[in-house]
Homo-oligomer: A and B are copies of this chain.
Amino acid sequence: MINRHYLSMLQNKSVIRELSEYAARRGEEIGYDNVYDYSLGNPSVPAPQGFTDAAIRLLQTQEPVALHGYSPSLGLESVKEKVAQSLNRRFGMNYTAAHIFPATGAAGAIAHALRAVTEPGEEVVVFAPFFPEYIPYIEGAGAKARVVPAQFPDFQINFGALEEALSPAVGAVLINSPNNPSGVVYTKETLERLSSLLTEKSAEYSHPIFLLSDEPYREICFDGGSVPYTALFYPNTLTCYSFSKSLSIPGERIGYVAVHPDCEHAQEIVPMCGQISRGTGHNCPSSLIQLAMAEAVDETSDLSVYETNRNLLYEALTELGFTVNRPDGTFYIFPKALEEDSVAFCRKALAYDLILVPADGFGAPGYFRMAYCIDTDKVRRSLPALQEFVREEYGDRSLSEKQHEENKGK
């Protein structure tokens, strides 16, 4: 019989998708160059030449039977080895190939990691604001999301609320730093405090609480800063990575789970991912893509455009009186809307050809997300539209300033 659950999911159209479809239709009317589309997190810079060259070289020089043959279900050994060595070199870890499970992007990595370290019915803690797809990943594993409210205005962890959430039913905690949608990077202090609390609660409940660290934006960090490597702080960490953003290849579906060598069941988790894969039909990422990625494992696209865009938008938004945290990384910025109903706010923006995403789905109603992985030229051209939108819909600067003052007081 047709599955009623998945059939009913078709009724709930994603707001992001609806907006993105609107943007495409509007683009047909006025030219897509004139639509200030901040809806989608699709990288706008090319893959590094090293990736393209590696893929071409593999196709031109390798025996097709070997190149396109089945990857072992736990991944190509040479690829796992190169990923492990790269992480060890960069972060002082001591992974071996046996700790690396190649996956189809962070989506595949998180879906497998969640199934490996939770029992059905357990809770998985997520922190608002969060990537909305975390919910289907968690529910797909048979677990339940337990949302810890956002800590305003810095979007670090609200430890009071976390401690309350950490009941014995919690099997895992899922973090994302640099964060989609807030752009915040968790500080060392945040990670140390998180590690202490999880260690304490694991001991209290006599079972490990696993930490899943979703890090697709790890290489996009601004102001010369760097992102603390989560696994260094807590041994029961499964790092979920994607090359979608660092190599600008989201369509190629390549990433990994890296299991901390001192994690409980460290030797079993990657083989368990292989077993999980049998039921989902995931199998391994494309062999060609695994091999080309391994050749470019230490490269990144030129990611500097994202910092340029961040600077332009942060300055413009603060000048217009928005309450907004300055992103430390990613290509997202996450301001507070100028009215309580951020859906209404974003709908009004459409009249100015501004495509903004209300953050209700991210667990932070009243905020909105702008994905600034677009040409800097378009960001510049969007600023007068943004100004006009704010002035016409929400009055002149005096109102904005008043609100600005109010926000400061919070």
Contact = CB atoms under 8 A, between A and B. Distances in A.
Interface of A: 1-4, 6-7, 9-10, 40, 42-47, 52, 55-56, 59-60, 63-65, 67-71, 103-105, 107-112, 115-119, 122, 133, 136-137, 139-141, 171, 207-208, 248-254, 264-265, 268-269, 271-272, 275-276, 278-289
Contact of A6 (B52, B111, B136, B272): B272
Given A3-B115, A59-B56, A60-B56, A68 B251 contact: yes
Contact of A281 (B111, B269, B284): B111
Contacts of A68: 47, 248-252
A145 B115 CA distance: 22
Number of copies: 2
Given A70-B251, A140-B278, A1 B42 contact: no
B279 A2 contact: no
26 contacts: A1-B117, A1-B171, A2-B265, A3-B119, A6-B116, A6-B275, A9-B275, A42-B70, A43-B69, A46-B64, A47-B64, A47-B68, A55-B288, A59-B59, A68-B248, A69-B250, A69-B251, A71-B251, A104-B283, A107-B282, A108-B281, A108-B283, A251-B284, A254-B286, A286-B286, A286-B288
Contacts of A249: 64, 68
B59 A286 contact: no
Given A68-B248, A285-B253, A279 B111 contact: yes
B284 A253 contact: yes
Contact of A63 (B46, B268, B281): B46
Contacts of A2: 116-117, 208, 264-265, 268-269
Contacts of A264: 2
Given A112-B281, A251-B71, A279-B136, A119 B4 contact: yes
